[in-house]
Amino acid sequence: MNTTQRTALVTGASAGIGAAFARHLASQGYALLLVARRTDRLKELADELAAQHGVRCDVFAADLNDPAAPAEIMAYAEKQGIHVDVLINNAGLSGKAAFADTPWPTLAAEIQLMVTALTELCHRVLPGMRERGWGRIINLSSLAAFSPPGASLLYTGIKSYVLSVSQSLDMELKPQGIHVTALCPGFTRSEFHDTMCTRDSANKLPEMLWQEAEEVVREGWDAVMKGKPVCVPGTINKIMASTMRPLPVKLQYHLGNRFNPFKES
């Protein structure tokens, strides 16, 4: 497969899993459109990958908390003649305070970032993918999507949405050559816990629970290329996910696909 004509859009690309995806895809020969809020970090990464792998790397600074951001990203891509063949919906955060004590604009921004923007970007890249008969979408869910809900947190519900909608999209789009995968990592070494001010608590967790971002990316990319709608990376995480859900993920997927009462025959 000649990937030099294919481009990957990666959100939250300035650090952590997003940056690891950018490095992995560049090493595979994909051109990149890197999106995050920190322009300096994006440009530094783009320069590194262009020099190392000889691929085109465009950057677009955007805050996906802004409802206008998805449309602006795609308008930039169109203006630059970029066709998005791979979408990595990675950008995310988690609330840090009780729901009732958090101002609504903060909660709304969390939903906008991880629900609305993620879904809108999927919708906006699909016309081109369908026209070309090929596409890959990875939506970052979480091991939390398999767990019981946590007090005060929208995060578990949001990641459950991402897990569910990714499977639904994969059912619809796979016959058209488009694979959609919900990537559900557990504890991953990144800046996430520093940003959320939970580093002290995270550092108390057993070493066996942690994965490197590069490991998560390799498993996630392998899964979407093989057409797997759900990827829980790491043996420990797979065991935890299987004990938290009554039915195996694969069985849930096939039952949902087979017995959907709204699916056209």
Cα torsion for 34, 40, 44, 47, to the nearest 10°? 70
Q: What is the pLDDT of residue 192?
A: 56
Q: What is the pLDDT of residue 205?
A: 63
Burial string for 222-240 (b: 16+ CB within 10 Å, else e) reads ebbeeebbbbbbbebbbeb
Q: What is the pLDDT of residue 196?
A: 47
Tens of pLDDT along 112-155?
A: 999 999 999 999 999 999 999 999 999 999 999 998 877 778 99
Domain chopping of the chain, boundaries = 3-258
Active site residue 76: no
Lowest mean per-residue pLDDT among 87-91, 229-233, 246-250: 246-250
Class at the top of the CATH hierarchy for domain 3-258: alpha beta
Average pLDDT, the chain: 89
How is residue 8 annotated by DSSP? Answer: E
Mean per-residue pLDDT for 195-199?
A: 48
Which of 30, 155, 161, 253 does the annotation list as catalytic? Answer: 155
